[in-house]
């Protein structure tokens, strides 16, 4: 590995990450930059739909996102699991229950991410696949807003486990034990199929594929 990456002295890396990936991307970048201190990184954080637009317009080297749709002439490689879980305020009656049937969720109100969010798409797909109609409450454009609103008692939420480290540690939110959960998604490193990747980009992609999952497992 060291030999292959010898050429990485300096250079720029322009990446965009899905809003949810913002919860781990900076930690990974920190390790990468320790190894290659002369690399300059620009990090853009946005939702899935905007990422796909940016890729279509060749506005960055690479993206970190949930699975992109087929047919866009992209290369996408998965490097880490992304479990989506249901969160509740710690005093919610469902917190103490085990293997909650999906049907029980129909009595609850769910706060949802904005249209264009990958989390939102997966959640809708999952419940329609299982024939469950959820009541949705407020729509919010960030994971932070969803977590705050759930804590405040406005409803339940569905978020990636990666967004929850702090709240779980401080016992501010609870993850419900629901049948068929978590919804298992994956994180992908994505670039245009015809993109000529710089040495720095190649090194970063290799770093994600070889090491990200393990580094994040150690961190949690």
Residues that bind ligand PGA (CB under 6 A): 18-20, 47-48, 65-66, 113, 117-119
Residue 95: phi and psi, rounded to 5, are -60, -35
Give the helix/strand (H/E) hosting 86: strand 74-89
Q: How far is the CB of 91 from ligand PGA (least distance, A)?
A: 27
| Non-local CB neighbours of 87 within 8 Å, separated by 6+ positions | 146, 147, 150, 156, 157, 158, 159, 164, 167, 173, 174, 175, 176
Instruction: Write the Ramachandran bin of 46: left for phi over 0, alpha for psi from -120 to 50, otherwise beta.
Output: beta
15 closest CA partner among 34, 37, 33, 35: 33
Q: How far is the CB of 94 from ligand PGA (least distance, A)?
A: 23
In the bound state with ligand PGA, the residue whose beta carbon lies nearer, of 19 and 36, is: 19
Q: How far is the CB of 114 from ligand PGA (least distance, A)?
A: 9
Q: How far apart are CA 162 and CA 103, in angstroms?
A: 26
In the bound state with ligand PGA, the residue whose beta carbon lies nearer, of 66 and 155, is: 66
In the bound state with ligand PGA, the residue whose beta carbon lies nearer, of 16 and 201, is: 16
In the bound state with ligand PGA, the residue whose beta carbon lies nearer, of 8 and 18, is: 18
Q: How far apart are CA 21 and CA 27, in angstroms?
A: 11
- How wide is the angle at C-alpha 41 spanned by C-alphas 69 and 209, nearest 5°? 50
Measured from each CB, the residue nearest to ligand PGA is 118
In the bound state with ligand PGA, the residue whose beta carbon lies nearer, of 47 and 201, is: 47
Q: How far is the CB of 33 from ligand PGA (least distance, A)?
A: 23
Q: How far is the CB of 177 from ligand PGA (least distance, A)?
A: 22
């Amino acid at each position: 590995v060291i030999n292959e990456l010898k050429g990485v002295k300096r250079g720029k890396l322009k990446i965009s990450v899905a809003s949810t990936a913002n919860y781990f991307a900076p930690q990974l970048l920190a390790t990468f930059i320790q190894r290659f201190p002369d690399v300059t990184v620009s990090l853009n954080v946005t939702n899935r739909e905007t990422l796909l637009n940016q890729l279509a317009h060749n506005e960055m080297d690479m993206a970190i996102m949930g699975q992109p749709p087929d047919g866009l002439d992209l290369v996408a490689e998965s490097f880490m699991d992304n479990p989506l879980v249901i969160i509740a305020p710690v005093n919610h009656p469902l917190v103490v229950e085990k293997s909650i049937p999906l049907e029980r969720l129909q009595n609850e109100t769910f706060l949802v991410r904005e249209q264009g969010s990958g989390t939102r798409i997966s959640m809708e797909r999952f419940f329609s696949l299982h024939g469950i109609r959820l009541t949705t409450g407020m729509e919010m454009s960030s994971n932070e807003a969803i977590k705050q609103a759930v804590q405040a008692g406005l409803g339940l939420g569905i978020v990636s486990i990666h967004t929850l480290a702090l709240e779980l540690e401080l016992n501010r939110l609870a993850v419900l034990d629901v049948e068929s959960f978590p919804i298992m998604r994956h994180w992908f490193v994505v670039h245009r199929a015809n993109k000529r990747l710089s040495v720095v980009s190649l090194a970063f992609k290799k770093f994600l594929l070889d090491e990200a999952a393990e580094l994040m497992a150690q961190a949690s």
